[in-house]
């Protein structure tokens, strides 16, 4: 025995304690230490597949109690004494530690496999980038080396370093990507502006800067669609400069171009609304499209345009030129196509010119 021997004059222990446990009343430090170790092992144990943590804690507590105060009545009936209790404690702790070691080894192996797979994928991803960080690749190689050795502490250390490097690389990459995105956005804005300009130039007449014939066809289709959808009026005016060939012959083509430009500006003033479209149809012919204009107001607008051009005096290099215009107009009929309304307006223009020019004529 390692505990103190009871003095001869000390009273005997109660008879109900087993002989193997007598003497604990003196506070045997060996038993106290053993019981404390058992309880600590229980508290710090890990759950395993074989034994739950709660079950092992209860086993350790029961064995510690048996060591300190003696076995229970049932345990006494099963001949449980201190030696038996210690042997059972040893067996229980051994089984628990073996189970913990086995599961630790399995978790360690699983963790190293996961880390190795992650490192491999990261290296593959970096290799595919033209701007992959060589320092990060070196750190990933260090993790692979630590994984091959199986040193968890080293894996943790180099993984922490690599994580910092990857965060830095990603932060720098994000900054570069944002800069590239900003540049790309600016280029897209510039390209859109250039495209808009190109589209505008594609439907503009370079001499008069009015909508050209292609633009007129598009505008006419839009106006017809809006007229059909809203059952609103639409009037088309065909306009021709009277005796324009004589202007070219008498004053030259530069003077003729100036006449075309000045008449174009005057027509824009005569049809000033946002939805009005004034286009050069070809040569000295023009077309004006006026939405929401019906038979009541169409003649008035035609006359206003004719009179404004008649008052116009155009200075050329050699002289001042005055011109007049003839106008034929047609109010859109329900179901009429663009070609049909153009044909009716053109026929009305022909009648205006045949009637003496410098006049307006409505299509029947």
Phi first, then psi: what are they for 20, rounded to 5°?
A: -70, -15
Q: Beta 277-282 vs 285-291: how paired, if at all?
A: antiparallel
Q: Provide the 10 A C-beta neighbour count for residue 269.
A: 12
Would you state the torsion angle of the CA atoms of residues 128, 130, 131, 137, taken in this order, to the nearest 10 degrees?
40
Helix or strand or coil: residue 311?
A: coil
Q: Pairing mode, if any, of strands 234-241 and 325-331?
A: antiparallel
- Residue 230's CB: how many other CB atoms inside 10 A? 10
Alpha-carbon distance of 169 to 260, in angstroms, equals 65
d(CA 321, CA 359): 19
* Catalytic one of 197, 284, 285, 351: 284
Contact 332, 224 (CB under 8 A): yes
Does 10 qualify as catalytic in the annotation? no
3-state class (DSSP) for residue 236: strand
Q: Which residues contact 212 (CB under 8 A, 6 or more apart)?
A: 203, 204, 205, 279, 280
**52 three-class SS:** coil
For residue 182, count CB atoms less than 10 angstroms from its CB and return exposed for 0-12, middle for 13-18, buried for 19 or more.
Answer: exposed
Helix (H) or strand (E) holding 237: strand 234-241
Helices (H), the chain: 29-43, 53-69, 73-77, 82-127, 134-149, 152-202, 213-230, 244-251, 253-270, 298-310, 338-354
> Which residues form the catalytic set?
284
């Amino acid at each position: 025995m390692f505990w103190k021997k009871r003095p001869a004059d000390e009273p005997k222990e109660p008879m109900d304690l087993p002989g193997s446990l007598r003497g604990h009343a003196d506070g045997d430090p060996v038993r106290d230490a053993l019981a404390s170790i058992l309880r600590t092992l229980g508290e710090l144990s890990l759950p395993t597949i074989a034994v739950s943590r709660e079950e092992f804690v209860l086993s350790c507590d029961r064995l510690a109690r048996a060591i300190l105060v003696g076995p229970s009545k049932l345990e006494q009936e099963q001949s449980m004494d201190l030696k038996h209790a210690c042997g059972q404690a040893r067996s229980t702790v051994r089984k628990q530690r073996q189970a913990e070691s086995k599961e630790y080894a399995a978790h360690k192996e699983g963790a190293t496999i996961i880390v190795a797979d992650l490192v491999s994928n990261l290296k593959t991803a970096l290799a595919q980038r033209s701007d992959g960080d060589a320092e990060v690749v070196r750190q990933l190689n260090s993790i692979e080396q630590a994984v091959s050795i199986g040193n968890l502490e080293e894996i943790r250390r180099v993984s922490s370093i690599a994580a910092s490097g990857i965060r830095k690389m990603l932060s720098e990459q994000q900054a570069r990507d944002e800069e590239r995105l900003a540049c790309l956005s600016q280029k897209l804005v510039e390209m859109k502006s250039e495209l808009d300009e190109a589209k505008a130039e594609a439907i503009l007449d370079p001499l008069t800067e009015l909508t050209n014939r292609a633009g007129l066809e598009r505008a006419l289709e839009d106006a017809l669609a809006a007229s059909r959808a809203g059952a609103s009026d639409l009037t088309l005016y065909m306009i021709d400069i009277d005796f324009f060939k004589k202007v070219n012959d008498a004053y030259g083509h530069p003077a003729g171009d100036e006449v075309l430009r000045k008449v174009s500006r005057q027509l824009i003033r005569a049809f000033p609304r946002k939805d009005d479209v004034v286009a050069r149809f070809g040569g000295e012919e023009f077309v004006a499209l006026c939405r929401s204009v019906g038979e009541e107001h169409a003649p008035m607008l035609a006359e206003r345009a004719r009179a404004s051009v008649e008052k116009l005096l155009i200075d050329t290099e050699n002289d001042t030129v005055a011109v007049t215009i003839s106008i034929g107009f047609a109010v859109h009929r329900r179901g009429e196509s663009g070609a049909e309304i153009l044909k009716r307006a053109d026929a009305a223009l022909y009648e205006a010119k045949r009637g003496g020019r410098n006049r307006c004529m409505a299509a029947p």
